[in-house]
Structure 1
Amino acid sequence: MPRILVVLLCTAGAVVTLAGIREVGSIVGPTLLALVLVLAVSPVRTWLQRRGAPGWTLVAVPLTIVLVVLLGMVAILTVSIAQIAALAPTYDTQFNQLIVEAQQLAGRLGIGTQQMNEALKSFDPGKIFELAQGFVSGLLNVFSGLILVIVLLLAMCLDAQSISRILSMGAARRPKLIGALDNFAQKTRRYLLVSTVFGLVCSALDVTALWLLGVPLPLLWGVLALITNYIPNIGFVIGLVPPALLGLLEGGPRTMIFLIIAYMLINFVVQSLIQPKFLGDAVGLSTTVTFLSLILWTFILGPLGALLAIPLSLLARTLLVDSDPDGDWAAALISGAVPPDGGTGPSSPRVT
């Protein structure tokens, strides 16, 4: 078949598949979340199995760990929404003072008072809290299918041991596919482990900075920083905006500036300097592919797609590239890492 026809057919198939996934996102999203969570706690099941633990503990212990984490997140976000709603009416005086200071600054800069007043009319202190409350509510909606996720977690935990044996039996017939799936599980676990550990470190430091600066609800913004840590590239900004706005109302521009500087320093040191050394090439996705995958999965699955962008892209790479015996060149292109032979092996084309 002509190459252009193959490209068009593959593109059309991808569009139809992604459109179908988006239409049933309320089912696919919780299913993929449950799969990632089961993979995350699978080492616990393996450890218990090696210690000769009873069969029921191989299901109960991993499931309990996941449920404690999920229900804890839901509880914190639910309480935080109520706290934000109660906090909103207390900042009318601070907001009016900020308007007066902004008008005085505009006058010194030669900006017309009428122009400034018209610009300030579009601002409302309630809107700032509505923005924060709406974002937290959006995160809570990620877990809206909690019952479905719990049922899927239970089913996957029950089937995990038998599926593992079936995959081991198929290694002789499909070694490339089974190896790719095993590699996907390992990379996903390593990504989640490293991201969680360093996310907790960043969150603890952020909460300390928020507490020292006197910004209300530091625990909420710490949890938000932990959750957004799983969102590549833009997660840091998403986790910074709500507390920065609240810091502006609580302590003025100086508090907001100090908070932004503290967040930037913490993010740069922990996530840009230290975390990559531990994560290494576990993700196997280039910066461009990571950013595009964030846009794509967010468009398809919403906030849940943003949180699971990296694991979902790893799964797509496993099924479409790593399981293909001739996919080494494509894998190198996706990861941005040059193969050991420089891509000029016997089966690799030379670009001149």
Structure 2
Amino acid sequence: MTEAELVHEPPGRAPLPRGLVILLGLSAAVITGAGIWAAAWLIGPVFLALVIVISVSPLQSWLLRHGTPRWLAVATLILAVYAILASLFLVIIVSVARLASVVPEYAERADELLGGVRDFLAQLGVDAEQVDSVANSVDLTKLADLLGSLLGTVGGILSNLVFLFSLLLFLSFETTSATARLRVIAADRPRIADALGEFVHGTRSYMVVSTVFGLMVAVLDTIALALLGIPLPVTWGLLSFITNYIPNVGFIIGVIPPALLGLLGGGPGLMLAVIAVYIVFNFVCQSLIQPRFVGNAVGLSSTIAFLALLFWAWLIGALGAILAIPLTLLAKALLVDVDPGARWADALLGVQRPPPRAERKAEKAERKAERAAAKAKAEPKPEAGPDSTQEPEPAEA
């Protein structure tokens, strides 16, 4: 069916002008964005639970392939997800508690540094009143009070954690029938099934790449910070691991706290040493090497990934920054991959669209058949035995 037949209008009914169609699309996007912003408190945790289950679900598939009972595979998946979240939450709580006790120890050193900065700015001719107002606004004791209030809100965090755990429980049970449901969808709407399959595959690939690089960078940062004498090296290693899921700028967010502690504890030299360590490890891995692997795995260029980070962080918040790539993959699957007329949008995404799953399977089967044919052709033919039939020689005249 040609494009003209797809957009054919009934007789007597003129098509909408293209400009009006664009305005209607933009209006729908604004209304949808406002709805997502209003329900960010619900969409963020729900999508986080979905991404976690998608990332860990291969464990369940592996157990089922090796003959494990279905109930035991589901229970193992749930326990694995719960163990990951509980460990991460426990480490965060302990790290924040230790940080709240360490920060006041550097208050006196911070005052000395601010005094030196005040004198330097005064020598440059900056108004003393303005310098004093800025210096008085910087108080580490206020930061300690902020951390204490953060620990006081653990009750509210626990309530959200219970909601997240309950949601993960239901989603883990649903994974057992996800494949069958995709088959039902593929029977009626194959493009939708392929788009959802590509979303799952891309999200899982992104999480694997980010987790591997995050663990590598976190271990290197923890060892380097411990050797430099920076307090709480494990805490900053955990921060590096979490910020590794933030595309392109996670390195900047992760380096600020240990660099400040290095400045307060050892002066500008130690701060520069911390920054140099993060440039070597985090910047090279997160900003130069990892985006290439992420782009090849999910089909998004580095520019699109950075713009997606800004958009989802503005729309959903901190959780949107961490889930920017999976959220973009879901939007791409629902708006681009399901529509054959939207293939032109792949050029804007910067990376060539990977072939659908059905096409990949067909190509794999074709290559396998070609290898089998080549192997059969290369095998030597069996020689004729003594008992084989031979053509009779022509009789002599």
TM-score in terms of structure 2 length:
0.77
Assess, with a 3 A threshold, how the Cα gap between structure 1 residues 167 and 280 changes in structure 2: closer, same or farther: same
> What is the match of residue 337 of structure 1?
351
> What is the match of residue 64 of structure 1?
79
Q: CA deviation at 1:11?
A: 1.2
CA distance, structure 2, for counterparts of residue 137 and residue 163 of structure 1: 40
CA distance, structure 2, for counterparts of residue 332 and residue 80 of structure 1: 44
- Larger relative contact order (Cα-Cα within 8 Å, sequence gap ≥ 6): 1
Q: CA deviation at 1:153?
A: 1.1
C-alpha root-mean-square deviation of aligned residues, in Å? 2.8
1:18 aligns with 2:33: yes
> What is the match of residue 349 of structure 1?
none
The SS at the match of 1:233 is coil
Return the letter of the residue paired with 2:53: V
Assess, with a 3 A threshold, how the Cα gap between structure 1 residues 254 and 54 changes in structure 2: closer, same or farther: same
> What is the match of residue 225 of structure 2?
210
1:324 aligns with 2:350: no
> What is the match of residue 193 of structure 1?
208
CA distance, structure 2, for counterparts of residue 225 and residue 139 of structure 1: 22
Return the letter of the residue paired with 1:301: I
1:145 is aligned, of 160, 165, 186, to 160
CA contact (8 A) 2:95 2:235 kept: yes
Assess, with a 3 A threshold, how the Cα gap between structure 1 residues 137 and 225 changes in structure 2: closer, same or farther: farther
2:263 is aligned, of 248, 255, 258, to 248
Percent identity, aligned pairs only, is 44
1:83 aligns with 2:98: yes
Assess, with a 3 A threshold, how the Cα gap between structure 1 residues 62 and 203 changes in structure 2: closer, same or farther: same
Assess, with a 3 A threshold, how the Cα gap between structure 1 residues 174 and 148 changes in structure 2: closer, same or farther: same
Is the radius of gyration larger for structure 1 or structure 2?
2
Q: CA deviation at 1:122?
A: 3.1
Structure 2: segments with no counterpart, 5+ residues: 1-15, 355-397
Q: CA deviation at 1:175?
A: 1.6
Q: CA deviation at 1:33?
A: 0.8
Return the letter of the residue paired with 2:86: L
CA distance, structure 2, for counterparts of residue 167 and residue 45 of structure 1: 17
CA distance, structure 1, for counterparts of residue 245 and residue 154 of structure 2: 13
CA contact (8 A) 1:34 1:152 kept: yes
The SS at the match of 1:170 is helix
Return the letter of the residue paired with 2:226: W
Q: CA deviation at 1:274?
A: 3.7
Return the letter of the residue paired with 2:234: L
CA contact (8 A) 1:195 1:230 kept: yes
Return the letter of the residue paired with 1:249: L
Q: For residues 326-346 of structure 1, give each alpha carbon's deviation from its aligned partner in whole angstroms, at most 9, with x where no partner exists.
A: 221112222x13679xxxxxx
Q: CA deviation at 1:27?
A: 1.8
CA contact (8 A) 1:39 1:185 kept: yes
CA distance, structure 1, for counterparts of residue 150 and residue 180 of structure 2: 42
Q: For residues 226-276 of structure 1, give each alpha carbon's deviation from its aligned partner in whole angstroms, at most 9, with x where no partner exists.
A: 111111122111111111112111111111111111101112332344434
> What is the match of residue 164 of structure 1?
179
Return the letter of the residue paired with 1:15: V
Return the letter of the residue paired with 1:188: T
The answer to which of 277-286 and 238-247 deviates more is 277-286
CA contact (8 A) 2:104 2:144 kept: no
Q: For residues 199-227 of structure 1, give each alpha carbon's deviation from its aligned partner in whole angstroms, at most 9, with x where no partner exists.
A: 11111111122112211111111111111
Assess, with a 3 A threshold, how the Cα gap between structure 1 residues 138 and 277 changes in structure 2: closer, same or farther: farther
Q: For residues 106-135 of structure 1, give each alpha carbon's deviation from its aligned partner in whole angstroms, at most 9, with x where no partner exists.
A: 57x655694655543332233455677889
> What is the match of residue 358 of structure 2?
none
CA contact (8 A) 1:205 1:266 kept: yes
Q: CA deviation at 1:279?
A: 3.6
CA distance, structure 1, for counterparts of residue 322 and residue 295 of structure 2: 20
CA contact (8 A) 1:293 1:313 kept: yes
1:95 is aligned, of 93, 101, 110, to 110
Q: CA deviation at 1:63?
A: 1.4
The answer to which of 98-107 and 231-240 deviates more is 98-107
CA contact (8 A) 2:244 2:286 kept: no
Q: CA deviation at 1:93?
A: 2.7
CA contact (8 A) 2:97 2:151 kept: no
The SS at the match of 1:63 is helix
Assess, with a 3 A threshold, how the Cα gap between structure 1 residues 276 and 26 changes in structure 2: closer, same or farther: closer
The answer to which of 158-167 and 278-287 deviates more is 278-287
TM-score in terms of structure 1 length:
0.87
Assess, with a 3 A threshold, how the Cα gap between structure 1 residues 186 and 25 changes in structure 2: closer, same or farther: same
> What is the match of residue 238 of structure 1?
253
The answer to which of 11-20 and 180-189 deviates more is 11-20
The answer to which of 111-120 and 178-187 deviates more is 111-120
Return the letter of the residue paired with 1:60: A
Assess, with a 3 A threshold, how the Cα gap between structure 1 residues 21 and 89 changes in structure 2: closer, same or farther: same
The answer to which of 270-279 and 52-61 deviates more is 270-279
CA distance, structure 2, for counterparts of residue 189 and residue 37 of structure 1: 9
